[in-house]
Amino acid sequence: MKKIRGIKIDGDFVFLNPHHFDVLRIKEGEKVKVLLPDGNFAVGEVIDEKSKKAKILEIIKPIEKKVKITCAIPLLKKEKTEKTVEFLSLIGVEEIIILISQRGEVKPPKDKQEKIKERLKRISLENSRISGVKTPKIEKFMKLEDLAQLDFQEKIVFWENSSQKITKEIIEKIFSKSENLIFAVGPEGGFAEEEIELLRKFSWKDFTIGEKILTSELFPVYIASIFDFFAP
């Protein structure tokens, strides 16, 4: 079934993107999977080739996991942060929090934070639609001291100096008893030891992934993909 973007909903009907319609050579009577303007998908049957109009037969809700995963990612240089958000949105997470930490290289003022946030939300919307998952919320720029106090059933921070390596057994145990979790990843310089101590005071558990070295923009994507695999 061909996939195509819908540009306007009119009751039980949707008008399809004219350019995509022609490129895909869609014909009257053909059934297509339509990306609706509200972020949902639908199965539609083309009823008018000239006006690019299809009748909506079925609404398909975005894919959601039972365990809600929130990611706290470091604010990096523009392209790096955007790439992280792009791939996290393709995988599918509940929320992305932009973390401003001690060793972070980018610390924009409040007015610039809003502009960055709006751009990241657009990137997230576009990419979550591609894979059919729920669009992650991106509402918060947060300092570590505020992040520490958030209420989640499981709170995990990845730190290269941690004495405990994350394992398959640990991940399975976490998902067997939790409905929501948050994980945090630091900037290129990692978290300072005092930041980890602060997080521990608020019941965060710190782990390492071992000797593997990943960039700060790839690390959250790597962890999210592993968690997504194990999440029910």
CATH number of the domain at 15, please. Answer: 2.40.240.20
Q: What is the mean pLDDT of residues 36-65?
A: 88
pLDDT the model gives residue 132: 82
pLDDT at 167 over 90: yes
Together in a domain, 99 and 43: no
Structurally, the chain folds into a number of domains equal to: 2
Give the pLDDT of residue 172. Answer: 94
Q: How confident is the model at residue 139 (pLDDT cuts 50, 70, 90)?
A: very high
Residue 7 and residue 74 in one domain: no
Taking only the tens place, the pLDDT of each residue in 98-121 is 999 888 878 888 889 999 999 999
- State mean pLDDT over 41-62: 91
If asked whether residues 29 and 120 sit together in one domain, one would say no
pLDDT at 189 over 90: no
Residues 48 and 77 in one domain: no
Q: What is the pLDDT of residue 145?
A: 95
48 and 139 inside one domain: no
Residue 232 predicted with pLDDT over 90: no
In this structure, the answer to whether residues 151 and 41 fall within a common structural domain is no
Say yes or no to pLDDT of 38 above 80.
Answer: no
Q: Which of 33, 60, 87 is the last residue of a domain?
A: 60
Q: Are 183 and 223 in contact (CB under 8 A)?
A: yes
Q: Looking at the DSSP assignment, which residues form a beta bridge with residue 171?
A: none
The pTM of this model reads 0.82
pLDDT at 47 over 90: yes
Q: What residue numbers bound the domain in which 16 lies?
A: 2-60
